[in-house]
């Protein structure tokens, strides 16, 4: 009898480990739901997918470039790789950030569609699933989009009514009705199959996070009778406008000029229409030219080891081995400073810099704020990291929330969770946070 118990226990442990590995694998595969179509990959000798992989201690990237895809698709994927690779990993001993991009291709007689499935993990409990689609008219060799298919309010109303019915059948009362409002750009990820028009929604857009990204397809039969002017099996399109060569926002500076919003990270970030632009920091400025940085200084100096034992400031949560000329640190106070960084010896050539000397020197420009430090017993909680509660409350089982996601939750990623003037924990309402909450970045 004892042997039977041991065998059953061993079998249970094997199944438990297998389930864990399968769950982890599923988190990193953008198209891993069994009820979704398998990824279509062209492995013919004439055209093969290109797989890009880059694994470092902080970033794990694996991306598929579709074989023979138009340049706009390839450029989009490359931009996602470049942006992700520049994200600074803030947890030195944590799991690496993860990016996965795969695709599905639909080759209709008139249209060629690509549906990109994107999974990213940048810390926290769960990663995020996104969708991005591209549709091309084979006759005109141009990209087409939602408004080319549905170009008047009556058609859009009939479409959203049918989407509501299909989502209600699939998810009951738990689906998010605001996720299909066309004025918010929710329906822009459209694609065409051989017998339907599909709509791809990112995670949290129309259903709880447990459902992942959602694809809904409406048959041409319904569209022909109810919406589209054409009675053929494919939708009729007006002559599309030529697509611009580039978006009006292509870098960090253009994003700031367009939105006026900056995420105070380092390097700083700006969000525009679902894209993240990271400020490029010139690590090799012209000698004599200074770079101004805004930094946060902690309340205590911490023992550290440079050339020898010394005391270091905590700057933006990291040990700071250099001094700041003109700045006197007072124990027990936190500071927000504007400082200027210059090459200490006018060059970055290591042969011209004394041994054990710092490459840069730092000078105080302005003390932006100084405040008495208080013990921060507040922690971030909630399924989407949108709650700020006390550690005592969290330890007692508080901080549990439903797992819907709103665009505004992204604003809290760079906000401060700390005691407020009332003594209660909460998000510190800075100008940056206020502006972001009033006009949150769209993650669709």
- Residues with Cβ within 8 Å of residue 297, at least 6 apart in sequence: 313, 314, 315, 329, 334, 335, 336, 337
Residues 67, 51 contacting (CB under 8 angstroms): no
Torsion region of 182: left, alpha or beta (phi above 0 gives left; psi -120 to 50 gives alpha): alpha
pLDDT of 93:
59
pLDDT of 386:
82
pLDDT of 327:
92
pLDDT of 132:
92
Token readout for 134 is: 């591209």
pLDDT band at 1 (very low <50, low <70, confident <90, very high): low
- Strand pairing category for 360-372 and 324-325: parallel
Coil, strand, or helix at residue 123? coil
263-288 pLDDT per residue, tens:
655 567 777 776 778 877 655 444 44
Give the start-to-end residue ranges of the domains of the chain: 33-226, 282-372, 378-438
Full-model pTM = 0.44
Report DSSP letters for 197-248, one per residue. Answer: EEEEE-TTSSS-GGG-SEEEEEEHHHHHHHT-S--SSS---PPPPPPPSS-S
The dihedral built from the CA positions of residue 290, 296, 301 and 303, taken in this order, carries a sign that is negative
Q: Report which of residues 164 and 11 the model is more confident about.
A: 164
Q: Report which of residues 277 and 105 the model is more confident about.
A: 105
Q: Report which of residues 270 and 330 the model is more confident about.
A: 330
- Residues with Cβ within 8 Å of residue 57, at least 6 apart in sequence: 96
Q: What is the mean pLDDT of residues 67-74?
A: 88
Coil, strand, or helix at residue 30? coil
Q: What is the mean pLDDT of residues 291-309?
A: 82
301-320 pLDDT per residue, tens:
888 877 778 888 888 767 88
Does 133 score more than 90 pLDDT? yes
Residues 443, 130 contacting (CB under 8 angstroms): yes
- In words, the CATH class of domain 33-226 is alpha beta
């Amino acid at each position: 009898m004892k042997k039977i118990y041991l065998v059953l226990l061993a079998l249970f442990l094997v199944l438990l480990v297998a389930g864990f590995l399968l769950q982890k694998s599923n988190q990193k595969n953008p198209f891993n739901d069994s009820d979704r179509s398998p990824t279509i990959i062209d492995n013919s000798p004439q055209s093969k997918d290109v797989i890009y992989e880059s694994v470092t201690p902080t970033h794990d990237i694996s991306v598929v470039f579709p074989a023979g895809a138009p340049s706009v698709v390839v450029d989009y994927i490359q931009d996602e790789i470049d942006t992700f690779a520049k994200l600074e990993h803030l947890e030195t001993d944590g799991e690496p950030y993860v990016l996965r991009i795969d695709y599905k291709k639909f080759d209709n007689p008139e249209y060629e569609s690509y549906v990109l499935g994107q999974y990213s993990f940048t810390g926290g409990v769960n990663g995020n699933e996104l969708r991005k689609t591209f549709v091309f008219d084979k006759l005109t060799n141009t990209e087409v989009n939602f408004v080319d298919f549905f170009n008047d309010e009556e058609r859009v109303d009939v479409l959203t009514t049918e989407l509501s019915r299909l989502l209600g059948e699939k998810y009951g009362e738990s689906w998010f009705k605001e996720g299909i409002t066309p004025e918010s750009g929710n329906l822009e990820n459209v694609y065409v199959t051989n017998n339907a028009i599909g709509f791809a929604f990112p995670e949290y857009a129309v259903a709880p996070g447990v459902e992942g990204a959602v694809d809904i397809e409406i048959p041409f039969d319904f569209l022909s009778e109810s919406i589209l002017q054409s009675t053929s099996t494919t939708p009729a399109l007006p002559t599309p406008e030529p697509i611009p060569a580039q978006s009006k926002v292509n870098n960090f500076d253009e994003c700031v000029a367009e939105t006026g919003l900056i995420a105070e990270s380092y390097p700083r970030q700006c969000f525009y229409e679902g894209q993240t632009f990271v400020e490029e920091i010139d690590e090799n400025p012209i000698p004599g030219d200074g770079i101004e940085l805004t930094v946060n200084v902690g309340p205590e100096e911490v023992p550290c080891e440079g050339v020898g034992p010394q005391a270091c400031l905590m700057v933006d949560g990291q040990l700071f081995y250099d001094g700041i000329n003109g700045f006197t640190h007072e124990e027990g106070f936190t500071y927000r400073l504007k400082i200027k960084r210059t090459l200490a010896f006018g060059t970055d050539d290591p042969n011209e810099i004394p041994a054990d000397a710092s490459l840069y020197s730092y000078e105080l420009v302005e003390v932006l704020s100084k405040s008495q430090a208080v013990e921060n017993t507040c922690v971030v909680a909630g399924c989407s990291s949108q709650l700020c509660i006390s550690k005592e409350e969290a330890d007692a089982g508080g901080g549990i929330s439903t797992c819907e996601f709103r665009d505004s939750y992204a604003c809290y990623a760079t906000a401060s969770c700390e005691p407020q003037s009332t003594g209660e924990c909460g998000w510190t309402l800075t100008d940056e946070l206020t502006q972001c909450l009033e006009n949150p970045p769209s993650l669709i």
